[in-house]
Amino acid sequence: MIRIIYYIILIYFVLGGVGFYFINRKKEHEIARKSNLKFVTYFFIINILFFSIVLNSVAFRYLSVLIIGVGMYELFRLFHQSDYNHKWFYFFSLLIYGILSTGFLLFGTLQKELILFSFIVLSIFDSFSQITGQLWGRKKLFPKTSPNKTLGGFIGGGLIAIASAFLLKSLFSGYKLELLILTLGIVFFAFAGDFAASFYKRKFNVKDYSKLIPGHGGFLDRFDSLISAGAWVAFCVYVLKF
């Protein structure tokens, strides 16, 4: 079953690669190169996380601690670079980040199948919201805070993620209604987490959190949606009793 799921992931990546080809073929060489670098780096990140979940869930927990720790460093880094401006905003952001991080750590203690299900659905939404947004997105949702987010991308990525969730329903032991609620929450919190990370950057007037991941704007830029969506899944299990 795991092998079949991995093949499905590879098929999605091929489809994503085709989408990025059509997106980048009319762009300037340097912009296209950065986009391709981001896609390749993302492929390796997905594989590292996938196999850490499948082969040894303890490894995923260690990666979760690493992600949270580096993310906290990046939050402080921007605060420090601003000469400690926006103190109340920083401490409030740190509080929210701490709550979500706690949920994300609890997410890492769940059953392997549920972690894998959530991770794949999230990754599909994250990838295809970008692809469908760049191909067909016209209406920008937050032009000042996050100009790359479009209504078409949100709807396109969300629909593909929901359809994929039912394709992967063998990994989820609950009812179909619970599956739908869980998936809708993953989509919403992934989107909200990504927006919140962008809002934090704009508040401190920077483009990237760091250059730690090639082609990406830092750990938080890459893992913001995973932290938020993971916290939502943990809430569903520990509070809503899914």
Q: What is the pLDDT of residues 93-110, one digit of tens each?
A: 999 999 999 999 999 999
| pLDDT at 146 (0 to 100) | 78
Tens digits of residue pLDDT in 33-49: 777 777 888 889 999 99
Share of the chain above pLDDT 90, in %: 57
146 forms beta bridges with 142
The first and second tokens of residue 54, run together, are 């499948």
Does the pLDDT of residue 22 top 80, yes or no? no
The first and second tokens of residue 193, run together, are 């987490």
Mean pLDDT across the chain: 89
DSSP class of 170: G
Does the pLDDT of residue 29 top 90, yes or no? no
| pLDDT at 203 (0 to 100) | 92
| pLDDT at 234 (0 to 100) | 97
| pLDDT at 144 (0 to 100) | 77
Q: What does the radius of gyration of the chain's CA atoms come to, in whole angstroms?
A: 17
Tens digits of residue pLDDT in 211-222: 888 777 788 988
| pLDDT at 100 (0 to 100) | 97
| pLDDT at 182 (0 to 100) | 97
Gap between the Cα atoms of 14 and 94, Å rounded: 37
Q: Which pairing describes strands 140-142 and 146-150: parallel, antiparallel, or unpaired?
A: antiparallel
Gap between the Cα atoms of 35 and 19, Å rounded: 12
Query: Where is pLDDT greater, at 141 or 88?
Result: 88
Pair 224, 196: CB distance under 8 Å: yes
| pLDDT at 42 (0 to 100) | 86
Tens digits of residue pLDDT in 128-176: 888 888 777 778 888 777 777 888 889 999 999 999 999 899 899 889 9
Question: What spatial distance separates the first Cα and last Cα of the chain, rounded to whole Å?
Answer: 23
Gap between the Cα atoms of 238 and 33, Å rounded: 43
Is the dihedral angle over the CA atoms 151, 16, 104, 79 positive or is it negative?
negative
Reported as type and span, the H/E element at residue 102 is helix 87-107
3-state secondary structure of 146: strand
Query: What is the amino acid identity at position 138?
Result: R
| pLDDT at 6 (0 to 100) | 85
Pair 158, 129: CB distance under 8 Å: yes
* Burial of 73 from C-beta contacts in 10 A (0-12 / 13-18 / 19+): middle
Q: What is the mean pLDDT of residues 67-73?
A: 96
